[in-house]
Structure formats: C-alpha cells, structure tokens
Structure 1
Amino acid sequence: MKIDRRRALAFLGLGGAAGAGSGVSAQGLNLHTGAVAFEHGVASGDPDQTSAIFWTRVTPKGASDRDVLATLEVAADPAFKTIVRTGKGLRAKASRDWTLKHDLDGQGLKPGTDYWYRFVANGVTSPVGRTRTLPTGPTKDVVLAVASCSLYSNGYFNAYDAIAKLPRVDAVLHLGDYIYEYGGAPTDYGMNSPVAAQRMPDPLHEIVTLDDYRRRHARYKSDPHLQAAHARAPWIVVWDDHETANDSWQGGAQNHNPDKAEGDWAARKAAALKAYYEWMPIREPTAGALPDASWRGFQFGDVATLLMTETRLTARSEQLDYATDLPVVDGKPDVAAFSAKWKDPARRLVGEAQGQWLAGQVSASVKAGSAWQVLGNQVVMARVAGPNLQTLLGEKFEPMLAKLPPYIRERILQGVALSALGLPYNLDAWDGYPADRERLYDLFKSAGAHPIVLSGDSHSFWANELFDEAGAKRVAVEFGATGITSPGYGDILPGVPLGQAFAARNTEVKFADPGAKGFVLLTLEHGKATSEMIAVSTIFEPAYTTRVLKRFVVTPTKGGGVEALAEA
C-alpha cells in the first residue's frame, strides 16, 4: 500500500530537516539571536559516496521559543584550512527541539575520503566532528565498529570512549537500544548499579510523551564518551525495542500498558520516532514509506553491501509467551501444540515488503561482485536453547538460586525446563519466528550470497554459525555485539560459565560471553572477514583498559555460504 508521504511526515512532524535556508529573511523575526551552546556535540551518519547527514543540537540560553540560524562547514583537514562545503542559513527549529540535520544530498564530497565538520551559530562554534564517505570501485578493506545496548544508569560509557580512540574506523553501526525508556526509581532497570546515583536518567519517570523521549535522548547525548564516539566517524543506526518500549511489536509492547496512564500505543510510538529522527543522524523517511520503515542499504566499494533491517515496528507479530502459549496437558507441556503456533508461517518478523527489498538487494549485491552481504540486524538469529544450569552446577544450583531475586529465579527454572524440551530460551529473538528466518535463509541461498549477520539486543558477545532448517548448509555466520553497559546474565550469575554452557548446548553457538561489556570490530576484506570482540575492563570506574576477548575469521564458500568459523 502506498503511503502519502506528506501526510505521514506531517503526522510525526518530520520532513524539511535537511534543506534549510529558504525563506530566512521572511521569518527572520522569529530567530533567537542571543547566547547559544552546543551541549550535545555533533554527529554524522548515513554516509554515501558523496555526502552524509550532519547533525547537532543548538541549545538557546534562557527561555526561548524561536529558531536558531546556523552554518555548517565541511573541510578537508582538521584545521579547516580547506573548506570544501558550506551550508548557510540552516535552522535549528524550536519545533524539532532545536536539533538540526543537514543532508548534502550527493553534493561535492569525494568517495572514500575523511572530512571534518563543525557548526557555527550566533558566534559560537561547535566541537569538531570527523566523517568518512563510502568508497567506490575496488576497495582493499572496510573497518566497522558494531555497538548495541547502552543503559545510561548502569555504567560509564567506556566502550564508546574506546570506539572514539580507535586508530581506524570507517563507520559505527549501532544496532539498537541506544536509549532505554525506564525510570529512575530504586527498583527500575539498572538502578541497582553502583554508579546509578551519578548517572540518573532524565526524566526520572518512564518516558511516554514526546517531551519525555526528547529529554532522554538529551541526557544520553550529554555524555562526553558518547559525544566523542559520534564525532569520531559516521554512524549507521537502527532502533530496537527500548527506543520505544521493551519487547515492542507491530501493535504494542510488553512495557506499554494503555490502562496504566500510558495512553495509546500509536501515539507513544509516534512520539518516540519523532524524537529519534530529531536526535539521531539518520536520513528522514523516504517517499512512500512510513517513518518506521527504516530499512536501507550502504555500499562499501566492492567489499561489502550493508543492509540495515527493521524488526520491531513494521511487521513483527506479537511475541509468543511460554506462560500462555505452551499448554500443559495431564501435567506435561504440550510441545506439539506450542510448535503449531510457533512455526506458523503467518508469524512475521520482517514482513513481505522488507523481505522483497532484502531479496532484491542481496541478489543485486552478489551480481555486482560484492565480497560480503552484511545484515545489520537487531536480535540474535542463531538457534539457541538455554543451558540446563541445574545439570551444569550440580549441588551448587540450589544455593545459587536462593540468592537471586524471585523474577530471575523464575526465569532460570523456566530455562531448565525449556532446555530439557529443546525449546528456545528467547522468543523475542529470531528463534520466536522460525518460518521468517527460513525465508531469509532461502533468499541468501537463492542469491548465492556470502552473508554476515550482525546482532545486538542480547547483552552478550556471540560467534554463531547459521544453518538452514535441514542442517545441510551453513548459510551465514553471526557476530553478536554485547552491551555497552546493559546488564547480561553474566552480571546476574557471576562465576557461572554461561558462555561455555551455551556453546556446549547449541551446535550453532561457537562462542558466547554474556558478562563482558564492549563492542565488535569487524574488518571486511576480499576473501576473509575478521571479528574482534573488544571488551572493556570495567563500566563502574572512569579509568578502564581494553582487550580483545576473542578473534574469529570467516571465509566465503564458492557458490554461496561461508566456511566454518576459525578462532584466530
């Protein structure tokens, strides 16, 4: 169904963010001409071969409801001796929370080149950012930092600082949960952290309204390490669930209760997406698409096609839940009845429109000779059954269980039961949508692709080999990025060898670490790809060190697919 773009963007208050200078003199009386500051840094994103999105937020000092005029300067050197592009008369609009995005839209930059940029408003100059355009033609290699899951209150953003200090990074991929919606009460998520008192969320309540979401984005972007990572390289982003609400799907979310003064889901989603488009360096929705249809592609020379997916808001069927969807008959779980629901082909994660887009993009990439087809994807794709911790820990199991909060204890006991049944431990991941996963694998195989799947959401590092349902073909490999700060099961169960247990339980899992915090550094070359899982030593102290926790290499298989993962 075609969507009237003007009506859709008007509903969210989007559009008109990129081009900016027309009609300035006619509206000049509505300008804020007093003091301003750049309190949230600068950012670039969605690069192509000749342009990028440039972002900042101009904060008026004192009470103001007026726009601020700004100028963008893009230079070939960090000293700005050679300015190659200038955008004048750009408006940081009050109606967009004084955020400003400018899209060069194919104008004037060279492929595969570093540029530096800054904004000037009312005599004040912003911090300097660095961006890089995408390469064209024969390309030796591409270096990507892959991040996910940054809970502000739970720890210092040391991993973002480590990304900012990388000697080389061509782009940063953020796979979602850039912000979290929870409040700052003592029992709220992450508020038991030893540094929570120094990193309180704003606002202190769970965010629901447009003003709430804007304030939460502002709090996150006040962090100097996050600002530094944005300034280091262009970002390519996609939301997961917490940018709206936990375990969101097409028609709602686990953490949205209309009867609890949280209102209509569509209104909350619209507010969340409006704030996201205002505060993130992402291109505005394209013609004919709703704002939640954020899938898009990026071509890195002849080395890689990067396809960013959307698995939350456009087509996802509501998640199944073992408590309600796994019936018990005569005291025994009816796995057959559950499987009939679970494997229903009508259950979708990406949907028909995005599936057709992916098929076309993957096929075109292979035909064009790209070495790799990389999927920027929110949730873990591998088949993962939970380990049986009771068997793993033996006599230590009951004492461990007794120390845990009731809700964690319940999850672990459920995991023990599910492990025995061979059922997946996370129905919010691709494991909850096996038919759609197989459709994706079929399009990979049909195109003869060499896919690498990148995943976030799980707060764990993963190195997985992905096989089709028959188990006959290794279709792809998957590298999962752990959280920047968000707590994983390794934090809840310190000392328990969970990663080893996951690998021992699941043939597709070659490595997992649900305790480490950090990011994945992916280097793509012709003939091989190298994934380095980089961990920070702490998120509870400002001083930290980094180390490469694991390094894996994968090579393509002739005719499509990939070889087995090799630890390097």
Structure 2
Amino acid sequence: MSLHRRGLLGLLSAGAAGASLPAAARQAVDVQFLHGVASGDPRQDGLLIWTRVTPSDPSVRAVRVDWSVWRDGDATASVASGTVETGPERDFTVKVPVAGLQPGVDYRYAFSAGEVSSPQGRARTLPVGPTADAVLAVASCQLYPGGYFNAWEVVSKLDRLDAVIHLGDYIYEYGAEPDSYGMTTGARLNRTPQPPHEIVTLADYRQRHAQYKSDPDLQAAHARAPFICVWDDHEVANDTWSGGAENHQSETEGDFLVRKAAALKAYFEWMPIREPEGGLTEDAIYRSFDFGDLASLLMVETRLVARQEALSFATDMPVVGTGRNARPDVDAFRAKLNAPDRDLLGDAQRDWIRSTLTASREAGRPWQVIGNQVVMGRVQGPDITRMASPLEVTVLLARLPAAVRAEVRQSIELFKLGVPFNLDSWDGYPAGRERLYGAFADAGVQPIVLAGDSHAFWVNDLKDASGRRAAVEFATSAISSPSPGDHVQGVPLGAALNAANEEVLLCDQTAKGFVLLTLTPTEAKAELHTVSTIFDKRYDASVLKTYTVAKTADGNGPLVES
C-alpha cells in the first residue's frame, strides 16, 4: 500500500529526526520506486530502512529523498524523519539508520521523492527485558530463473513475524545461456537473468540485484519485516572461498579481488544491512542481535573471511594403481580432509562466537541461535546403487547436464566408500567444526544452528567427535533453487541420507519453502513451511513437519517431531 503524498508530507513536517528541505530547494526529478522498500538489522532503539529510486533521466546526478517512520496504527505523527541524497555513485539506493525508537515496537516507514511516494514497510525493533516469544522466518537460496518466489508471498502474509533471517544466495551469478543453472525452467517461465551473461563487474552485480528486487513476492516479504542477512557464495560466485571461487576464471574474468569488491559494493548498496563496524574489514559481517532476555542470534560469516578452498573429489582424490587396477585412495583423501588447519571461520571470529555465547548465557538468556550458511551436520553420501539398478543409474546420469555428469558419476562410486555428501559444507572442514563445537562447550551452551545453501530441509542432532551432543540444527530448503534430489527424480535421496546418517533426523530433498522458528522461554519450535509448486503462481502452502526442543536445566531436550 502506498502512502499518499499529502499524508507523507504531513508526517515529515511533524518529525524530529531531521527536517525536509524547502520545496524550492528540491530538484524536480521524475522518479519511480520500482524496487520496493526494506528494513534490516533491527536494534532495541533503531532500524535500518532502505529503498531505491529510479530516475526517468539516467543522466541525473542527485536525487533528494524524504523518509519518515511512525508507530504502526498511528499515522498521524512521525517519530523520525529526514532527507537524504542519493545518486549514481551508490546506484540511487537509499539506506537510513534510524535511531531513537522504542524497543519491541511495531513501526511503519515510507519514502518520497518529488510528488512520488514509495510503498510502506513494517518493522519491529528488538525487545528489551522480559520477552514472551520471538518469531523468525529462516530462508535462503532464491534462484530467479529457478521458479516463482511463492514462499516469499507466504512469508509476507504471516500474522506474526519479528524478523527474517536470510542465510545467503540472495542472488546468483549465472547467465542466461541455455545450459546455465536453472535456465530450463527460466526460459519456460520467462524468468531470464539480467544481464543475460555471468555477472562479473559492478554494473553487472547492480543490474542483477535490481532484477531480484523487482520480484513482487520478494518485495512483499521485505515490506513485511526486517531482514537479518548474511551472504553465501553466489552473491560473488559459486563456491567462493577467501582467495577465489570455483566459478571464477582469472584468465577470462580478471582479478578475483576486483570481482569480489564489485560484488560486495553492490551487496551493501542493495541490501538492508549495516556495514561492519569497529575496524572490521568489509567482509567481516558477523554480528549479533539480542531478543530481550529470551535469545541471542549470532550471524556468522563462513565464505570470505577465512574459508580455505573446498576439496574436490575430481582433483583431490589420489588414485593408486594403473589401468584396470586403478582405484581411489580414500585413506589418503581422508587424511587431507582431516588436516588440522582446515577452517571456515578463523580464530578471531571463533573467539567472538565463544565470548558472545558466554555473555548470552551469563545474561540468563535460554536460547542461543547461530545463523550459519552451510549444513553443519555430519552427512555421509548414500550408496545410490542400492536404491537403483544399473540401468536406472545410467538413465539418471543421461538426464543430467553434461557439465556435471562426470562429477555425479564419480560421486556415486565414491559414496560406496563412505565419503562426505558435500565437501563445500562443514563436512569439508571437520577440524574447524570440532574447534567450533569446542567454543560451544567453552561457552556452556548447546545452540540452535540454522543453515541454508543445500536447497533441502534438514533436522540434525549435532554431535562432536566424541559423541557428545553439541547443538541441534534446522536447515531450510530453498525458495526456488533446485536440489540434488530434484536432479535425481525417482531416487529417494532424502530418505537415503536420513537412513545412512545417525545425526540426520530428517532430510527432504524436494520441498521448497522456509523454516518458521518460534522461541519461548521453555521451547523452540521449527515449522518447515512448504509450497506445492514453484512453477506456477497457483499453489498451496502447508507445513511439512514440526520439530520442538524443550529447554531443560541441563541444556536442551531431545528433538521431538510434533
């Protein structure tokens, strides 16, 4: 819903956080608000609000934008307002850190430029003191050509929602070539990536963010509640690590650090996220949020700060013997995989996690939640040949894109030998995972770990190498990105992963949706919300499963399906 220009001007004139400029001082610039509004990184006394203006004249160098915030249900008086200027140096995006608000209060906000006003957004500040509950939607992985963002429409219509936790892959870097990721569906649904080539430059990343923010369902979700975001890999390029990415070829795409800088500049322009403070580098976006006396949320960064390059079965699996006697040397591969220096976080971030968790426990908060990009559970690949005949495996491989067929064929053979399912997840960094579990133990907590990235739902009971329980994990499926299970239709991959792994209580490799996490002083409840299709705007929404964890005197109770 848009706020009428007269109403917004009235709110602006009543605001105390900044006066709008006289009408004569404003530029008469014809603009539109084509990308909606958003808020993010809520605090007890403030919010970050965002929008983007699109001038009709691309040569415009500056646009003044008015903003206003008021209590939900009381549009007669602004509690904060002001005017900012934006231009091409930040792609005409607007980010305003609003301070001086009250804790635990629902607010509305809007923008205007000239005679044009934006849609309204809703946002709630973080609570202080006794807090009865917190309701958080957990989402990730929205491939624009992969299908419609129906799950975001469901999120936008939730009766109660305090914040959305987005765990990354907000955009994807791939182009629109017929064999590009998701383009079989994208061509059919007329959801073609823009620009149509793989994005590498600042202009490319800006255009791709703009396309994603043009989606009406994503806009509605942003307008519904503040987002608390971290990136994963595709905001830069597939399988990003601190020094490069699997999908970056320096010979044709230039210096990776230049590409990374372009991707991060566009990300900070287009996303409602506060930039790192306290002398941290721009890629160190780990930070925490306290929900009164109920919970602490820690958003961690596992891609750009300290991640080592992921191992690959294709390049890192030694082979012994020759000819027909050649075979993979799995023991040598495991030795490389278990090297004590393999890490995702780095010492500084791990120390921050330990101290922040300790402070949360000492403050008496019953829940500590880790917003983490990739699946943490220990997951061994299943033996596909026990579920499908040789002919079925041949047919399965023939259906795959040629670019991944050889890799999948190799994985099917290696899974017989008990290797991890996904080397890009925490399973590719077991020593680093043990160090993190040690930090949990040092802090005296068993946190709830949230994960994305895998395009599948997971419920995992996490244990350290000694078998001691370390945490519980709820991993969300994708909004629209295909999973490995989607590529092997007819093979019950999720059930096989569940059966093959002690830590896995549930794995669903086909459903798309999000997790709704509700915290109370005595219980954490995770509802796995799904949509019946992402290939049509006519769909049904339902809850696939619900799991609860009780808070006990000794920590957390067992995971219970309810």
Matched residue, 1:240: 232
1:357 aligns with one of 352, 356, 359: 352
Deviation at 1:234, TM superposition (A): 0.4
For 1:172 and 1:150, locate their aligned partners in 2 and report how far apart those are by CA, in whole Å.
14
Matched residue, 2:275: 284
For 1:407 and 1:186, locate their aligned partners in 2 and report how far apart those are by CA, in whole Å.
12
TM-score, with length taken from structure 2: 0.93
In the alignment, does 2:264 pair up with 1:273? yes
Distance 1:119 1:342, change over 3 A: same
Deviations 1:410-458 (A, max 9, x none): 3443233332222102111000000110011011112211300000000
Deviation at 1:162, TM superposition (A): 0.6
2:132 aligns with one of 119, 134, 140: 140
Deviation at 1:82, TM superposition (A): 2.8
Matched residue, 1:565: 559
Matched residue, 2:411: 415
Q: Which secondary structure does the structure 2 equivalent of 1:271 belong to?
A: helix
Deviation at 1:197, TM superposition (A): 4.9
Contact 1:461 1:514 in 2 (8 A): yes
In the alignment, does 2:319 pair up with 1:328? yes
In the alignment, does 2:374 pair up with 1:379? yes
Matched residue, 1:303: 294
Q: Which secondary structure does the structure 2 equivalent of 1:241 belong to?
A: coil
Matched residue, 2:89: 95
In the alignment, does 2:308 pair up with 1:317? yes
Deviations 1:444-477 (A, max 9, x none): 1122113000000000010011000111x11111
Deviation at 1:408, TM superposition (A): 4.4
Distance 1:187 1:404, change over 3 A: closer
Deviations 1:212-248 (A, max 9, x none): 0000000000111110000000000000000000000
Deviation at 1:333, TM superposition (A): 2.2
Q: Which secondary structure does the structure 1 equivalent of 2:510 belong to?
A: coil
Matched residue, 1:224: 216
For 2:338 and 2:488, locate their aligned partners in 1 and report how far apart those are by CA, in whole Å.
32
1:177 aligns with one of 151, 165, 169: 169
For 1:78 and 1:21, locate their aligned partners in 2 and report how far apart those are by CA, in whole Å.
22
Q: How many residues align?
A: 540
Matched residue, 1:71: 66
Greater Cα offset, 491-500 or 263-272: 491-500
TM-score, with length taken from structure 1: 0.92
For 1:221 and 1:79, locate their aligned partners in 2 and report how far apart those are by CA, in whole Å.
28
For 1:177 and 1:203, locate their aligned partners in 2 and report how far apart those are by CA, in whole Å.
17
For 1:255 and 1:207, locate their aligned partners in 2 and report how far apart those are by CA, in whole Å.
11
2:533 aligns with one of 529, 538, 553: 538
Q: Which amino acid aligns with 1:325?
A: D
Matched residue, 2:428: 432
For 1:79 and 1:186, locate their aligned partners in 2 and report how far apart those are by CA, in whole Å.
51
1:166 aligns with one of 141, 154, 158: 158
Deviation at 1:295, TM superposition (A): 0.3
For 2:542 and 2:329, locate their aligned partners in 1 and report how far apart those are by CA, in whole Å.
46
Residue identity (%): 54
For 2:432 and 2:21, locate their aligned partners in 1 and report how far apart those are by CA, in whole Å.
49
Contact 1:153 1:196 in 2 (8 A): no
In the alignment, does 2:463 pair up with 1:467? yes
For 1:207 and 1:399, locate their aligned partners in 2 and report how far apart those are by CA, in whole Å.
33
For 1:202 and 1:306, locate their aligned partners in 2 and report how far apart those are by CA, in whole Å.
34
Contact 1:450 1:556 in 2 (8 A): no
Deviation at 1:22, TM superposition (A): 11
In the alignment, does 2:447 pair up with 1:451? yes
Task: Give matches, 1:507-526, under 5 Å.
Answer: 507-526=502-521
RMSD: 1.9
Contact 1:377 1:456 in 2 (8 A): yes
Distance 1:120 1:444, change over 3 A: same
Task: Give matches, 1:392-407, under 5 Å.
Answer: 392-394=387-389, 396-407=392-403
Deviation at 1:334, TM superposition (A): 1.9
For 1:287 and 1:368, locate their aligned partners in 2 and report how far apart those are by CA, in whole Å.
23
Matched residue, 2:3: none
Greater Cα offset, 416-425 or 310-319: 416-425
Contact 2:179 2:401 in 1 (8 A): no
Deviation at 1:309, TM superposition (A): 0.5
Contact 1:156 1:485 in 2 (8 A): yes
Deviations 1:5-47 (A, max 9, x none): xxxxxxxxxxxxxxx989989xx99x75321111100000000
Matched residue, 1:116: 108
Distance 1:494 1:118, change over 3 A: same
Q: Which secondary structure does the structure 1 equivalent of 2:155 belong to?
A: helix
For 1:195 and 1:51, locate their aligned partners in 2 and report how far apart those are by CA, in whole Å.
42
Contact 1:418 1:425 in 2 (8 A): no
Greater Cα offset, 488-497 or 315-324: 488-497
For 2:315 and 2:194, locate their aligned partners in 1 and report how far apart those are by CA, in whole Å.
35
For 1:214 and 1:49, locate their aligned partners in 2 and report how far apart those are by CA, in whole Å.
31
Q: Which amino acid aligns with 1:46?
A: D
Q: Which amino acid aligns with 1:469?
A: A
Deviation at 1:348, TM superposition (A): 1.4
For 1:182 and 1:78, locate their aligned partners in 2 and report how far apart those are by CA, in whole Å.
43
Q: Which amino acid aligns with 1:126?
A: S
Q: Which secondary structure does the structure 2 equivalent of 1:166 belong to?
A: coil
Q: Which secondary structure does the structure 2 equivalent of 1:176 belong to?
A: coil
For 2:268 and 2:395, locate their aligned partners in 1 and report how far apart those are by CA, in whole Å.
48
Task: Give matches, 1:1-12, under 5 Å.
Answer: none
Deviation at 1:402, TM superposition (A): 4.0
Deviation at 1:51, TM superposition (A): 0.2
In the alignment, does 2:182 pair up with 1:187? no
For 1:550 and 1:407, locate their aligned partners in 2 and report how far apart those are by CA, in whole Å.
35
For 2:166 and 2:332, locate their aligned partners in 1 and report how far apart those are by CA, in whole Å.
38
For 1:406 and 1:211, locate their aligned partners in 2 and report how far apart those are by CA, in whole Å.
31
Contact 1:155 1:195 in 2 (8 A): no
For 1:23 and 1:263, locate their aligned partners in 2 and report how far apart those are by CA, in whole Å.
44
Deviation at 1:79, TM superposition (A): 6.0
